[in-house]
Amino acid sequence: MKLRAIVVDDEELARVRLSALLKELDQVEVVGEAKNAGEALALLPKLDPDLLYLDVRMPGMSGVELARHLGTLDDPPAVIFTTAYDEHAMAAFEAEAVGYLLKPVRREKLAAATERARQLTRPQLGPSPPPTPARTWPCASATGCAC
Amino acid sequence: MSPVRLQLPDFCTPRALLAVLVIVSLTAMLLALSSAGFDGLFLTELAHGLMFLVWVGLAGAALLCRLRGHIATQSVARGSAVVLSVLAVLIAVLSEAAYWVLASPKLNPENLWGLPPGHHLLFVLRNVLMGLIVTSLALRYFYVAQQWRLNVESQARARVNALQARIRPHFLYNSMNTIASLTRSDPSRAEEAVQDLADLFRANLNEKRSLITLKEELEAARIYQRIEQLRMGERLKVRWEVKELPMLALVPALTVQPLLENAIGHGVENMEGGGTVTVEGTEADGVIVLRVRNPLPLDGAPGRGGHGIALDNIRERLQLIFGAGAQTRSGREGDEFVVELRFPALLTPPEMAS
């Protein structure tokens, strides 16, 4: 099963290119595009994506702000940032992104980041899902945790 | 710009002390030559003079070493007055001491310096006057050297600023991304974009000519707009009202284009619906007025600092070339941010303003 992804970028040509590159990948399917954070938020309930490719710099709410907001949701989609200039990396990592890609994005790096996202999020979607009862570490229970 | 201060050399350093000793020796030699010429007395006169002047020089250096911090906070005139007064008092005190030693029959029974009796006051006055003349010359020298250094520094700074004014990396990477996208969807537009980018970088990396015609600068700004247009599409509109401008007038390279870049980066780009940047230019009585206006995002422009840096930079370069003839202004006007440049319309390069 493919990851369902939304591409968020204020520049049309950037969205077009990223979607075209993603079409060539097996792990992922682009189910929607948004040109700002507001549009992306509106699409979330409708499309229930697993993954967002987020431009860092956008008018209105920035990509980093959107990612922080997503972090407060239940079962949020994974985030891979895309940016033209490497000045937001720290903020992006603090927002717990699975990947950080520099534009123009390279196909191999896009594939690697997407694969990482597939392994880290919703592992039940993977080809060899570990059975659910395998989660046996003590802190998984809700009844008091010392660590 | 802060008012000019007198910057004395640091007299606490060995290097400055050596310079003081050289000045003192040359002054002593001048005095000995003028009073004794080349006859037998020259060396005696030189020794006497040196003995006195070395005291003046070293004590003066010690005082100025202590007073340097205070003098650096004064205007040039006040600082010079302080230096001259301090040295006048010092020379007066040392002359008085020297006089007592020389005039004392006990310490100087043979009246070695041939000091005529009854010339006490004249002796002190003469020394103070000579000291003041030498000090004034030295001060003048320090001042001129300082002015020269400041001038060199400001030219170097202008060069650095011109380098910094160049296209920002952000723009380059974004453009590359746009071109990468167009390569698939619209190869002929990708080709145009590559040509535009090449032209823009040629204009930006041109080291040789700091002054170009207004026509060339506006062309560079238009190319910049074309590239940004690809990226931002309908969101970016630029209105050009520049027909009145004398297109052959000279401007520093990168005067209009960085302002357009700012207007887009700090204004239109941060607005979801986009907006219109207006570039307008007029000329009246030989003065060119260029205005770049952009709408402000509602939430107060993020990163307004960038506006400041590019503007300081343009202001400094305009001043270096046109001197007081150049004026820059910027600020909010209603819901727009406006930058205004005024400078003389010149067809030939002016002398560098100092």
Residue of A nearest to B176 (CA): A104
Q: Give dist(CA B311, CA B314) in Å, integer.
A: 5
**Spatial distance between the Cα atoms of B338 and B259, rounded to a whole number of angstroms:** 10
Give the tokens for residue A93.
């990592």
> Which of A7, A13, A64, A110 should one mutate to test binding to chain B, selecting the residue with the greatest count of B CBs within 10 A?
A13
Proportion of chain B above pLDDT 90, given as a percent = 42
Q: Where are the domains of chain A?
A: 3-123
pLDDT tens column, A95-130:
778 899 999 999 999 999 999 999 886 554 445 444
**pLDDT at residue B186, as a whole number:** 94
Residues of A in contact with B226 (CB under 8 A): none
Strand partners, B289: B282, B342
Region B249-266 average pLDDT:
90
Half-sphere exposure of B297 (CA within 13 A, CB side): 22
Residue type, B342: R
Residue B349 has pLDDT above 90, yes or no: no
State mean pLDDT over B209-237: 92
pLDDT at site A147: 40
Pick the residue from chain B with its C-alpha nearest to A103.
Answer: B177
Task: Please write the tens of the pLDDT for every residue from B274-303.
Answer: 999 999 999 999 999 999 999 988 765 444
ipTM of the complex: 0.77
AA letter at A59: P
The burial of B168, by beta-carbon neighbours within 10 Å (0-12 exposed, 13-18 middle, 19 or more buried), is given as middle
Instruction: Please say if the pLDDT value at position B218 is more than 60.
Output: yes
Query: Going residue by residue through chain A (147 aa), what tens digit of pLDDT does each one get?
Result: 899 999 999 999 999 999 999 999 999 999 999 999 999 999 999 999 999 999 998 988 989 899 999 989 888 999 999 998 777 677 777 777 889 999 999 999 999 999 999 988 655 444 544 444 444 444 434 444 444
* C-alpha dihedral (A29, A30, A31, A36), degrees to nearest 10: 150
Strands (E), chain A: 3-8, 28-34, 51-55, 78-83, 99-102
CB of A80 within 8 Å of a chain B CB? The answer is no
Q: Give residues with Cβ within 8 angstroms of B138, minimum separation 6.
A: B23
* pLDDT computed for residue A142 by the predictor: 40
Class of domain A3-123: alpha beta
CB of A56 within 8 A of CB of A64? yes
The single-letter code of the amino acid at B199 is: D
* Cβ contact A30:A5 at 8 Å: yes
Tokens of A37: 């954070």
Strand partners, B89: none
**Dist. CA B66–CA B74, nearest whole Å:** 15
pLDDT at B307 over 70: no
Q: What percentage of chain B has pLDDT greater than the value 70?
A: 88
Which region among A103-117, B36-50, B63-77, B78-92 has the lowest average model confidence (pLDDT)? B36-50
Mind listing the domains of chain B with CATH numbers?
14-162 (no CATH), 168-344 (3.30.565.10)
Q: pLDDT tens digits, residue range B105-155?
A: 776 666 655 566 667 888 889 889 989 998 999 889 888 888 888 888 777
pLDDT value for B188: 96
Q: Is A64 on the interface with B (CB under 8 A)?
A: no
